[in-house]
Amino acid sequence: MNWDRRAFVKFAVGAVVGLHASPLIPKLMDDSAIWTQNWNWVPTPEDGALAFANTVNPATGTGVKVRMVTGRLKGERLIRVEGNPEHPTSKGGVLPADASALENLYFDDFRVKTPLIFNKDTGMHEAVSWDKALEVVAGKLAELYKAGQAHTVAALGTEAKTLDGELLSRFMAALGSPNLSFNVSAADTLALAGWAMAGEENLGFDLAGANYVISFGTPLLEGFGAPVAVRKAFAGWRKDFKHTGTLVQVEPLASVTASQADQWLGCKPGTEAAVALGLCQVLIQEGLYDRAAAGAVGFEDGDRGPGFKTLLAKNYSPGQVSQISGVPVETLIGVAKAFAKEPKAVAVCGPGGGGEPGRLLDFMAVLALNALKGNFGKPGGVVVRQPLGLKPLGEAINHAGGKPRLDGLGSAKRPVGVADHLSLAKAALSGNPYKVNMALVAGGNPAYSAPQAGVVRDFLRSVPFLVAITPYLDETAVMAQVVLPCGTFLESWGDSLAPYGGAVAEYGLHRPLIKAYEQVKSQGDVILALAAKLGGDVAKALPFASAEAALKTRTAGLGDLAKLAQKSYHVADKPAYGSVSFKTPSGKLEFFSMNLHNLAVKLSGEGGMGKVLKSLGVSAEGTAALMPHYEPPAALAAAGHGRLLLAAVPSLRTPKGDQPLTPYMLKVLDGETLSNKDELVVEMNPQTAASLHLAEHDRVKVTSQAGSSDAIVHLFAGAAPGMVFMPVGLGRFAIANAYTMGRGGNYNQVAEATADPLSGLPVWSLTPVAVTKA
């Protein structure tokens, strides 16, 4: 046998055949396939014991259940936020913002994980210890305090009446600064309207009890109050395929609410109040109104002048209202009659599409319609919410009285209303009567979410020392000298109050369910720690060991805190039905508001009242000025001549401005909101677009006096002519992450805020804009 080429070939063939006869090849094939099933860059979540905990999401008012899993090796983690079926108003439903809340909690790119101090030399924020950070902040506060400049410290909170808001208020009062502002909302406007006409600031709409609802310009199904609760009420009107309730929507966009409504009155922009008054007039002329309403102050003509009834007849006949609003006369009469006929029918006002607080006179018009229906205290009507019985946090120490407020609130310039970020920012930027040396932003993100965010951002940037207490490295935090990390609602103590428009007393509580980041504290704890560091009266005003302890004091009337926290909410069983004892000066319902009248008198003396009201933006004269009436929004006058009116597209697919836009929420946006990776989409009527020579998907620039944004045009027949509709919640530029940063533009940047007549609150639901091809 020769070991030659042929022999070798045979051996080699044998070897190859032999190897193939062995399991090597099939085994390798199988294992390669299994390898693709177990790629190590695909995560494998660890299984373990499941547990659930209740809490309430303060950003949405939804009662939720958090699902957690405890793995044997990796320990606890939260895996889902889902609805809490036991929660009396949200009944198991959730919003995209709730269901994606864990992204706010766990997405590292969003979060501030340790206290940060801005280093001027490197231009970066650097991590420091809590001690160091508090020392720096308290040191600055003490320095200003000692220099008698405590009033030049401004604070920007989110909600005044929550625990965090109260702690911040006490902190500022004890420190000696009157310059504290909060986010404004429709709740502020409704409180004023209620105070003006009924002497009651705590009104709600019994949507769940009603079966005929007219909603005036507010996105009832897309961001009204606690949206889940409203949707649950809506579900009640559409029970198992039977329309058991009727929804009528008045607004200039074929929005979701308008489309799901049984009837949509597509009115001209800003004329919703005129429609409400037109309905009032039909009720009266047809004799369909509640006779008890006739006894209300200012209904009939009186000494002061013509009454509400006369004014309606004079100015708001169906023909006139149809002229103003573009809603046909027959429609107005039909709706009014149906409204009158239905025993449980309610008229609803609320926030605008972009979360605007709404206009006081509009709200009063809607309350007047309810009054004529005899709705106060009735099931399915307007109810006064029960008081919650929260206990005060002890004696307040107020050193802030000495200096005037920057925003002039309480002066003749702005006699009613509440403090808002924009007014504070404008006044501070003017430096009159003094400059702001330090600002403390607690919990919110006003540089993004405040009306005319550009102005607020300019203000915050101009402040020599800015402190942000926030869970997120957002638009506000990136400008701050010191950033103090607080937790999301899933990792901290805090509370939330009854959502806007809800009919029952409601209180939500959230507690730490997990410690996702070692150094993060409850917002309340940060304020308390700062107070303790500062010492003196500030520490005395805030004598709590922790936010939990403060909550214990606050909720003493609601039982054991631990138990309450487990349950996470306190909600009254049912609305307080029954006759309402009006707390107005007359003790009656007032179409002519004595509260407003008395205030105006106080400010001016009887003679100059007209002038005062003019200065507050009321153009109507005589008794009408203090009655529900229609004032055309300032923006209407500026529109036309090639200018369009900008309004917001309400949506639950984007979060409220203070919350980051989560990747999941970004994902559910469709091509009518965001397109081509990062381009904002605005909606226009095809005719309007044609008149501007714009076609579908044209790139445009939307410019107002306040700012501008690039966008892409989407033609939508359901948009009122002469308007342009912009989504809200996009255009985040600060939180550096691959998903949401730089996507779209910010509505708040373009919308221009004006002072609402009487209330002085900023309103920005309509803005004259130029839309030009980019």
Partner 1 sequence: MDDSKFWPQGVTRCKPGAFIAWMLVCLGLGGWAMLSAFLCIYKGLNQTNMNDFFAFGVWIVVDLAIIALGAGAFFTGFMTYVLRRDELKNIINAAVIIGFICYSGAILMLGIDIGQPARGWFGFWHANVHSMLTEVMFCITTYLIVLIVEFVPLVLENRQISKVPDLSFFAHNLHRIMIVFAATGTFLSFFHQGSLGGMYGVLYARPFAYRTGIVIWPWTFFLFILSAIASGPSFTTLIVMLTEKVSGRKLTSHKVKMMMGKVSAYLLSFYLVLKIADTLYWANVTLPKMGVTFGELYGGGPYGTYLVWMELGLFGVLPALLLLQRRVRESYGLLALAMVLNCCGAVMNRFVMTIQPLAIPVLPFEKFVGYLPSWQEWGISAGVIAYGLIIFSLAYRYLPIFPQEVELNKG
Partner 2 sequence: MSLADRYSAGEHRFGMVIDVDKCTGCGACTVACMSENNVGVLFDETDKLRSITWMRVYQIDNGRPFPETQVAFFPRPCLHCEGSHGQHTPCVSVCPATATDYDEHTGIVSQIPTRCIGCRYCVGACPYHARYFNWFDTPWPSGLERPLNPAVAPRMRGVVEKCTFCYHRFQRAKNKAFLSGGKVEEMDYQTACTEACPSGAITFGDLRNPNHKVAQLAASPEAFRLLERLGTNNKVYYRTSREWVRRKADNYLQDEKTGQVAASQGGGH
Partner 3 sequence: MTTHEQGQAKRSHADWLLFVVGFVLFSALGFWGTPALLYAEKPQPFQFSHKVHMEQVSEGCKSCHSFREDGSFTGIPSMDKCKECHSDSPQGDTPEEKIFVEQYLNKNKPVDWRVYAKQPPCVFFSHAAHTENAGLDCAKCHGDHGKSESLRPYQYNRLTGYSRDIWGWNILGLGGPPKRMKMDSCADCHRENGVRDACFVCHK
Interface with partner 1 (CB under 8 A), residue total 5
Whole-number minimum distance, CB 27 to partner 1, in Å?
13
Of the two residues 45 and 431, which places its CB atom closer to partner 3 in the complex?
45
Listed in sequence order, the DSSP H helices in 702-750 are 747-750
Q: Please pick, from the candidates 519, 604, 675, 691, the single residue that binds partner 2 as defined by CB under 8 A.
A: 675
7 binds partner 3 (CB under 8 A): yes
* CA–CA dist 514, 549 (Å, integer): 19
Minimum CB distance to partner 3 smaller for 10 or for 540? 10
Cα–Cα distance measured from residue 273 to residue 434, given in angstroms and rounded to the nearest whole number: 39
Q: Identify what 11 binds: partner 2, partner 3, partner 1, none; CB under 5 to 8 Å per kind.
A: partner 3
Q: Does 11 bind partner 3 (CB under 8 A)?
A: yes
Q: Phi and psi for 359 in degrees, rounded to 5?
A: -100, 135
Q: What is the distance between the alpha carbons of residues 676 and 673, in angstroms, rounded to a whole number?
A: 11
719 interacts with, out of partner 1, partner 3, partner 2, none, CB within 5 to 8 A per kind:
partner 2
For 408, other C-beta atoms within 10 Å of its C-beta total 16
Q: Is residue 34 at the binding interface for partner 3, with CB under 8 A as the rule?
A: yes
Residue span 73-112 as binding mask against partner 3, x where in contact by CB under 8 A, dash where not? x---------------------------------------
For 9, residues 6+ apart whose C-beta sits below 8 A from its C-beta are none
Using the rule CB under 8 A, give the single segment among 27-35, 555-563, 601-609, 735-743 that binds partner 1. Answer: 27-35
Q: Quick one: CA torsion of 636, 713, 728, 708, rounded to 10 degrees?
A: -70
Q: Which two tokens stand for residue 63?
A: 């009662």
Q: How far from 11 is each of 3, 4, 8, 15, 302, CA to CA, in Å?
A: 10, 11, 5, 6, 120
CB nearer to partner 1: give 9 or 736: 9
Identify residues 230-249 at the interface with partner 1 (CB under 8 A). Answer: none
State the binding partner of 622 from partner 3, partner 2, partner 1, none, CB within 5 to 8 A by kind. none
Cis peptide before 433 (omega within 30 of 0): yes
- The answer to whether residue 47 forms part of the interface with partner 2 (CB under 8 A) is yes
Q: Work out what residue 205 binds among partner 2, partner 1, partner 3, none; the CB cut-off runs from 5 to 8 Å by kind.
A: none
Site for partner 2 in 100-119 (CB under 8 A): 100, 102-103, 105-109, 111
Q: How far is the CB of 266 from partner 1 (least distance, A)?
A: 23
Q: What is the footprint of partner 2 within residues 697-736 (CB under 8 A)?
A: 716-721
> What's the closest the beta carbon of residue 29 comes to partner 1, in angstroms?
6
Stretch that binds partner 3, among 34-42, 139-147, 216-224, 360-368 (CB under 8 A): 34-42
Q: What does the chain come to in residues? A: 774
629 vs 652: CA distance, rounded Å: 31
Q: Could you say whether residue 29 binds partner 1 (CB under 8 A)?
A: yes
- The tokens for 420 are 């808002």
- Do 61 and 226 contact (CB within 8 A), yes or no? yes
Cα angle, residue 232 at apex, residues 226 and 238 outer, rounded to 5°: 140
Q: Answer with the entry of partner 2, partner 1, partner 3, none that 29 interacts with (C-beta below 5 to 8 A by kind).
A: partner 1
Q: What is the CA radius of gyration of the chain?
A: 29
Least distance between partner 3 and beta carbon 17 (Å): 6
Site for partner 1 in 35-74 (CB under 8 A): 35-36
Distances (CA, A) of 102 to 78, 81, 509: 7, 7, 18
Q: What letter would DSSP give residue 76?
A: E
Q: Which amino acid is at 721?
A: P
Phi, psi of 559 (to 5 degrees): 95, -170
User: Is the Cβ of residue 8 or residue 578 nearer to partner 3 in the bound state?
Assistant: 8
User: Applying CB under 8 A, which residues contact partner 3?
Assistant: 1-2, 6-8, 10-19, 21-24, 27-28, 30-32, 34-35, 37-38, 40, 44-45, 47, 49-50, 72-73
Q: Which residues bind partner 1 (CB under 8 A)?
A: 29, 32-33, 35-36
